[in-house]
């Protein structure tokens, strides 16, 4: 239902043209959990930006539910990599932002904010301003801000990248629990292969820039999955090894 058809994105700088995404064709099925992996700077973020409507593809089309999309799409939530909590709002006011836009009654907003802030472990930090939170806490608040309005599709750009290992596992579990319940479509960019395998139905491996699809790997591990358990399991490790082989050449190119 989210279809990229021959999508390319080029940026023009004063000196040269940079191709960030190169003829990507990809179908993401409804209610699937899809992870993007690939060398850093390869153009995964640009692809997400295009899906969210922040960037127009230079060629190709993006369809959502079969309809051509230009500009912003309310049904797609996006947790960007850049920090975008509003500094003049408290954590709770930031998290409740989308509900405010929907003009929900105050009591319902408060109740849901409370629930989602507990979910990301920030229950006691509702009245803190972003500058009073640590980097990891700000990431989690940003997640709650998108999760709370339960968009049909959620794009997430390395949401757990800045978190320590324990917190990351715990957040993965929260995310999977949430997803088992509301079954949104999720596109999740990560560097962490084990994370991708733990979470995803499909892992899409990208080449180094410009981003082309190198392989799509279906992960058949049974659900519901428990990240604590399977993170270090043999199955996950062996799929990671497989993915790593695909990535290795690309990484070598990037480093050179």
Interface residues with another protein (CB under 8 A) are 52-54, 72, 74, 76-78, 80, 82, 84, 86-90, 97-98, 100-101, 118-121, 124-125, 128-129, 131-134, 136-137, 149, 163-164, 166-167, 169-170, 174
Q: How far is CA 74 from the centre of its chain?
A: 16
Beta bridge partners of residue 246, listed in sequence order: none
C-alpha dihedral, 9 to 11 to 12 to 18, nearest 10°: -90
CB of 162 to another protein, least distance (A): 11
Is the CB of 87 or the CB of 222 nearer to another protein?
A: 87
C-alpha dihedral, 87 to 88 to 90 to 96, nearest 10°: -90
Is the CB of 37 or the CB of 92 nearer to another protein?
A: 92
CB of 97 to another protein, least distance (A): 7
CB of 45 to another protein, least distance (A): 13
Contact 136, 158 (CB under 8 A): no
CB of 50 to another protein, least distance (A): 13
Strands (E), 65-212: 67-68, 76-79, 153-157, 185-189, 202-206
Instruction: Measure the CA–CA gap between 230 and 198, rounded to whole angstroms.
Output: 7
CB of 254 to another protein, least distance (A): 26
Taking each continuous run of H as one helix and of E as one strand, the counts in the chain are: 9, 10
Half-sphere exposure of 74 (CA within 13 A, CB side): 4
**Does residue 61 sit in helix, strand or coil?**
strand
Is the CB of 63 or the CB of 123 nearer to another protein?
A: 123
Is the CB of 11 or the CB of 72 nearer to another protein?
A: 72
The secondary structure element, H or E, covering residue 225 is none
Is the CB of 29 or the CB of 84 nearer to another protein?
A: 84
Is the CB of 163 or the CB of 247 nearer to another protein?
A: 163
**Does residue 122 sit in helix, strand or coil?**
coil
Q: Which residues have C-beta within 8 Å of that of residue 43, sequence separation ≥ 6? A: 9, 20, 21, 22, 206, 209, 210, 211
CB of 132 to another protein, least distance (A): 4
CB of 84 to another protein, least distance (A): 5
Is the CB of 90 or the CB of 202 nearer to another protein?
A: 90
């Amino acid at each position: 239902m989210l279809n990229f058809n021959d999508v390319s994105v080029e940026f023009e700088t004063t000196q040269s043209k940079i191709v960030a995404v190169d003829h990507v064709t990809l179908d993401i099925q409804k209610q699937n959990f899809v992870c993007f992996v690939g060398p850093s700077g390869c153009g995964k973020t640009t692809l997400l930006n295009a899906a969210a409507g922040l960037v127009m593809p230079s060629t190709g089309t993006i369809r959502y539910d079969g309809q051509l999309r230009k500009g912003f799409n309310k049904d797609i939530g996006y947790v960007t990599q850049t920090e975008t909590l509003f500094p003049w709002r408290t954590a709770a006011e930031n998290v409740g932002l989308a509900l405010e836009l929907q003009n929900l009654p105050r009591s319902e907003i408060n109740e849901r904010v409370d629930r989602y802030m507990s979910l990301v472990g920030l229950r006691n930090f509702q009245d803190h301003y972003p500058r009073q939170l640590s980097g990891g806490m700000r990431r989690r608040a940003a997640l709650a801000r998108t999760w709370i309005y339960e968009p049909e599709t959620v794009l997430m750009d390395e949401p757990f990248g800045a978190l320590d290992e324990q917190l990351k596992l715990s957040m993965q579990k929260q995310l999977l629990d949430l997803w088992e319940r509301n079954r949104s479509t999720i596109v999740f960019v990560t560097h962490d292969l084990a994370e991708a395998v733990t979470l995803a139905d499909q892992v899409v491996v990208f080449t180094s820039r410009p981003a082309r699809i190198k392989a799509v790997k279906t992960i058949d591990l049974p659900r519901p999955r428990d990240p604590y358990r399977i993170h270090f399991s043999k199955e996950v490790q062996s799929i990671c090894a497989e993915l790593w082989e695909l990535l290795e050449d690309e990484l070598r190119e990037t480093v050179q």
